[in-house]
Amino acid sequence: MQAGLPGLMPRLWRYGLVLSGNREDAGDLAQATALRALERSHQFKAGTRLDRWCFTILGSIWRNELRSRSVRRGQGLVPAEEADLIAPDKSETNIMATQVLSEMMKLPEAHRETMFLVYVEGYSYVEAAERLEIPVGTVMSRLSTGRRRLNSEMAE
């Protein structure tokens, strides 16, 4: 647990950023996740992927935070270039990835989170559905809607 968490922190921060749209909240979520994972390490089952377990913890912390705060609106999103998802060189692939990520950050949270889990973190539809506690059909619908919206925005 202690050996795996440091390498996982950038991914937890990015997931927190995708959920919150705020750099400071992303850092807080990553740290709270690491702390909770260490505190509850006895609950970690051997053979379970640490990253997926921590992503579940982070999502739970975020949903609890949302329930305890007023609805967040208009706090501004981090530019894709600052999200550490793109390699520092300015190749054509990175430029396109930056544009896609910028448009993805404008999607509603549910679509943004679903797309992140499937397309960035590589979760299967079933794994994403389990993580989000929604039906697989809802994952497919969110992905379809998100892709359509991204395609229309990118076409403009």
Which has more pLDDT, 104 or 7? Answer: 7
* 25 pLDDT above the threshold of 70: yes
Give mean pLDDT, residues 11-29: 92
Angle between helices 136-155 and 92-104 (to 10 degrees): 120
The string of DSSP letters for 71-136 reads: PP-------GGGTT-S-SS--HHHHHHHHHHHHHTTS-HHHHHHHIIIIIS---HHHHHHHHTS-H
The DSSP letter of residue 106 is: T
* 149 pLDDT above the threshold of 70: yes
**pLDDT band at residue 145, thresholds of 50, 70 and 90?**
very high
- Calpha distance 59→72 (Å, rounded): 16
- Calpha distance 109→156 (Å, rounded): 22
Residues 57-91: pLDDT tens digits?
A: 999 899 888 766 643 444 444 454 444 555 555 56
Residues 78-130: pLDDT tens digits?
A: 454 444 555 555 566 556 666 777 788 888 888 988 988 898 888 999 999 99
At 3 the pLDDT is 81
Which one-letter amino acid corresponds to residue 112? Answer: R
The DSSP letter of residue 46 is: T
- Calpha distance 142→114 (Å, rounded): 7
Residues 29-54: pLDDT tens digits?
A: 999 999 999 999 988 888 889 999 99
The DSSP letter of residue 123 is: -
- Calpha distance 69→33 (Å, rounded): 18
* Residues 6+ positions from 40 with CB-CB distance below 8 Å: 57
At 95 the pLDDT is 61
